[in-house]
Amino acid sequence: MSSDIKRRDFLKGAITGAGVGVLGAMGAYSYSGARKALFPKVAKKMNDIGTCKSIKVTNISETSWFDNQTLVGDVKGAGGLLVDQYSYNWPPFGNGKGLGKGSYDEGISLIKEYLPHDIDKAWEITQKNSINPDNAGGYSCLLEVEELDGQVRKFLLDSGWSYKWMDESFKREGIDKMLENREIEALFISHEHFDHYWGLPVTLKYDPSITIYIPEGFYPEGKQYIKDAGHTGKLVEVKNGLYKHIPGMATYVFPIPIICRVYGEQSLYFNVKDKGLVSVTGCCHQGIIRFAETACKELKYENDQLHGIYGGLHISPFDDWDPKYDDLVISLQRYGFERIGCNHCTGVLCAKKFISAGYPVVEGTARHRSKDKAYLGNGDTITFG
């Protein structure tokens, strides 16, 4: 056998062996327990956001829409969950052309002149041009942060969707007067979704100069809407990551893609003296576990305890289900929350599974069109601290 043939045989063997070696190592090591030794140890950042005495949340409205079948039917008819929300032809951007054929520019041109001073007229117009306008509700809550010196500072999280429903809800909870009296310092928009954001003119009707915080990631239509809705105050686009506001209160922007062509969500952390960390969310598209894990990695908080959570936890917003949600129900116990107030996109089924699993869910009163007592419903309050 010539040396050339021997060399070729060696090469053929070496190449075949390399394939076997790579695949063998991939199979044997990649999912073995030993692999965990390679994971970097992430040091806790211990960002200090200060402390507050307590935080009270008043649920102005958690019913973003009133009938799942109607809303999901619209989504299905328009082409699914990836369709741009401004093209669904939902209010207030209805252009009269039918489901899935809407556009921001056409819709806003019909109502812009009435914003924000005459939202009744604007809603009357959009009702005629939109798909299922009476199904629109909205998500919004009032946050009352008590500082260590006893001073109470008020903020709004989100401004809902339907002008009509949100205006009624604001009046029911006295938000209209608080805004007129400039008692509410700022409006935080959790994300650009229709049910959290499109009711913006209702807030601006009572206080057009209110400071607005939006998360990074808004699409051009969303940014334009702030101008078109008649905002005259300061606008802050919060960058991804942690943003400290007042002692004991911070927001965190998560850069995540969300259905209906939305990007990024802003949620809130409160560090309550002697209790622990409280998380308040709009929809929590980042996931409640990731929200909690982010707190664990990034923040320093009282007793190293995750004390409470309030808001839409975005698990089964349409009461749909998926086994991965069971992963959440099973895993949540690891985090030791002491008070859970959930509603909105959590899903009634999920809230009931939480209760069945023995989690400390604070139940509501099922008033003002909230569906079930498993939810902390419209008009209900929860206090942490």
Residue 79 touches another protein, criterion: CB under 8 A:
yes
Residue 10 touches another protein, criterion: CB under 8 A:
yes
Alpha-carbon gap, residue 101 to 78, rounded angstroms? 8
Alpha-carbon gap, residue 349 to 66, rounded angstroms? 16
DSSP state of 161: S
Letters for 175-194 (x = contact with another protein by CB under 8 A, - = none) are --------------------
Q: Quick one: 170 or 254, whose CB is closer to another protein?
A: 254
Classify burial at 44, counting beta carbons within 10 Å of its beta carbon; exposed 0-12, middle 13-18, buried 19 or more.
exposed
Span interacting with another protein, options 67-75, 243-251, 274-282, 360-368, rule CB under 8 A: 67-75
Task: Measure CA 126 to chain center.
Answer: 26
Phi, psi for 278 (deg, rounded to 5): -120, 135
- What Å distances lie between residue 134 and 126, 137, 138, 163, 165, CA to CA? 11, 8, 12, 11, 9
Crossing angle for the helix pair 119-129 and 163-173, nearest 10 degrees?
140
Q: Which amino acid is at 61?
A: S
Residue 336 touches another protein, criterion: CB under 8 A:
no
Give the one residue of 189, 289, 307, 336 binding another protein; rule: CB under 8 A: 289
CA quadruple 332, 242, 166, 102: dihedral positive or negative?
negative
Give the one residue of 45, 182, 239, 367 binding another protein; rule: CB under 8 A: 239
Q: Quick one: 143 or 348, whose CB is closer to another protein?
A: 348
Minimal distance, residue 372 CB to another protein, in Å? 11
Minimal distance, residue 283 CB to another protein, in Å? 11
Give the one residue of 205, 275, 307, 314 binding another protein; rule: CB under 8 A: 314
Letters for 108-137 (x = contact with another protein by CB under 8 A, - = none) are ------------------------------
- Number of residues counted as binding another protein (CB under 8 A): 82
Residue 328 touches another protein, criterion: CB under 8 A:
yes
Q: Quick one: 121 or 223, whose CB is closer to another protein?
A: 223
Give the one residue of 52, 55, 83, 226 binding another protein; rule: CB under 8 A: 83
Residues 254-283 within binding reach of another protein (CB under 8 A): 255-259, 261, 263
* 236 Cβ contact partners less than 8 Å away, ≥ 6 residues apart: 211, 212, 213, 214
